[in-house]
Amino acid sequence: MPGMNTPHAERIILIGPTGSGKTTVAAALAKLLGWPCLDTDALIERRAGLAIPEIFAREGEPRFRELEAEALVEALAAQRAVIATGAGIVEHAENLAAMRAAGWVVALSISVRAALRRMLAAVPAGANPADARPMLAGGDPLARLRSLDARRRDAYAQADATYATDAAAPDQVAARTAADLVARGLLPPDGAEAQTIAVRSSAGDYDVIVGWGALAALGGHLRALGLAPRVHVIADETVAALYRPSLSATLEAAGFAAEWYVFAAGEASKSRAQWARLTDLLAERRAERGEAVIALGGGVAGDLAGFVAATYLRGLPLIQVPTSLLAQVDAAIGGKVAIDHPRGKNLIGAFYPPRLVVADPAALLTLPERQRIEGWAEVIKHGVALDADYFALLEAHAGDLLALRPRETTEAVAHSAALKAGIVSRDERESGPRMLLNYGHTIAHAIETVAGYGVWLHGEAVAMGMAAEARLAQRMGLCDAALVARQDALLARFGLPIRLPPELSAEALMRAALWDKKVRGGRVRWALPIGLGRSEIVDDVPDEAVRDVLLACGTEAS
């Protein structure tokens, strides 16, 4: 049977037995993608003016199947839609053929007993199960479900992908589906154009490739670098659960065998203990010097895997594949890799540039909402500290960016990546202009240290740091109140914090800031805005000014 008749998945169609969660998964996936959600059962009821149990009772199953085929034709006429179908729709070969030609078909599987439990649980209290679910009527419903499963199993097996839903929440299944689409490059780019940005480095220049669907081409890029056929993918457990099967297949198709190293998600894994565990695993698997380490995930994966690559065998080739916005626009570019120390964030690290960065903005679709939002802090930072026109562009397109529209999101990621690349190319070791990228980070790192690593996401802490440090710049006469107001408005528009909670005391944050790695000779070096799109390094900031600003940021919250 032929597959899709388009190069990208214009529709995602869910099939599978009753009780497998097609309707709830479809709604969750549609929300992730920003597409409409259609349900063929709902379309049937609208066409007939009757509930499905009534159609079965009055007109019988043959008439229902006719209405179902008509509803499918209507649903498949929609563009960029997620479609949930009825369990028996696959029994007609023409329906299955139409679905496979029109889009990406996903089968949800579930054990018969688990399906029956879900069906019975969904029956309203006091209602007759047979009235709510026609297939529960008469005889042994478990036996009937087994019979239907046996009859339809071969048809379900013709789906493009299959996911078990017995123990998985709808949001998890939706994210896994989206990740497969990303890794296979199947999501429509909608006019987004890939960009390649060159970064200069004393250890060898490298490219940052930003493209909607770029992850699907990762194997080809590795081949172009002439890397050894075994690669070592380091990812946290959340990212590995999403991407491991499809990315392994993509790499295998390009001639690479992927060894996976999975660590617990969260900032706490950027530790000496986790670094030791990963290097031990590389040694056990006899990793060789020409074999690349692929850092897959957000900033934690990039820092941790990067430090492992920098230190094992005096350096393995490092490929950064950032899947979070924060990592795509900032952390993965520039070669700074590190692990944390109890006295401060990133105190143990190195400058170790990657051989390549592949940033696929489509991967942002698989992130939970909070992780999606935090990365915009680094993007807004680039506008405030480096590029006023870019800041205005972010203001104008905030809605498109929050919705992750392919063209606007790819352009924003590429623009931020180019700004970061330009800075680090001129100042690889952070002795001059690169320090400007630390805007917001002095207080951000203090927040992370005082609150405990992982309580605040890094981007959330950076946003709060920017809010405080802009006020510090205003207090010192470096910028005006208008800059503070515009920055506050844009941070808030993206759902980022601009006020300190009461549990973070000014005194504790002051003490933590003195341990920040940007301290020289006992004085904190601050990157502060001197106007929209312009910033400078200041090291004569009085402690009382910092304390007053931190107190004000907390007081304003009340």
Q: With both helix axes pointing from N to C terminus, report the angle between 458-475 and 441-451 in degrees, rounded to the nearest 10.
A: 130
Candidate list 372, 405, 434, 525, residue with the active-site label? 434
**Tokens encoding 207:** 């490219």
Question: Apex CA 103: angle with CA 187 and CA 77, to 5°?
Answer: 110
Nearest to 87 by CA among 68, 114, 113: 68
Candidate list 10, 267, 374, 430, residue with the active-site label? 430
Active site residue 458: yes
Candidate list 438, 460, 471, 517, residue with the active-site label? 438
Nearest to 296 by CA among 340, 365, 359: 359
Candidate list 378, 428, 448, 469, residue with the active-site label? 378
Nearest to 423 by CA among 463, 378, 382, 465: 382
Active site residue 434: yes
Active site residue 441: yes
Paired strand residues for 359: 210
Candidate list 152, 458, 471, 517, residue with the active-site label? 458
Own/partner long-range contacts of 132-135 (Cβ < 8 Å, ≥24 apart): 132/53, 133/18, 133/53, 134/52, 134/53, 134/56, 134/57, 135/18
Rounded CA gap, 488 and 469, in Å?
A: 12
Candidate list 345, 355, 441, 525, residue with the active-site label? 441
Active site residue 378: yes
Active site residue 544: no
**Tokens encoding 502:** 């009461």
Q: What is the DSSP letter of 375?
A: T
Q: What is 121-148 written as a DSSP string?
A: HTSPTT--HHHH-GGGSSS-HHHHHHHH
CA distances from 520 to 52, 111, 517 (A): 73, 62, 8
Q: What are phi and psi of 484, to 5 degrees?
A: -60, -45
Active site residue 445: yes
Active site residue 8: no
Candidate list 286, 314, 343, 520, residue with the active-site label? 314
Q: With both helix axes pointing from N to C terminus, report the angle between 543-555 and 506-514 in degrees, rounded to the nearest 10.
A: 140
Candidate list 336, 345, 471, 518, residue with the active-site label? 336
Q: Which residues contact 16 (CB under 8 A, 6 or more apart)?
A: 22, 87, 107, 108, 109, 110, 156, 165
Candidate list 133, 420, 517, 525, residue with the active-site label? 420
- Contact 440/462 with Cβ under 8 angstroms? yes
Active site residue 420: yes
Rounded CA gap, 194 and 410, in Å?
A: 8
- Contact 254/223 with Cβ under 8 angstroms? yes
Candidate list 445, 471, 517, 518, residue with the active-site label? 445
Give the catalytic positions in this structure: 314, 336, 378, 420, 430, 434, 438, 441, 445, 458
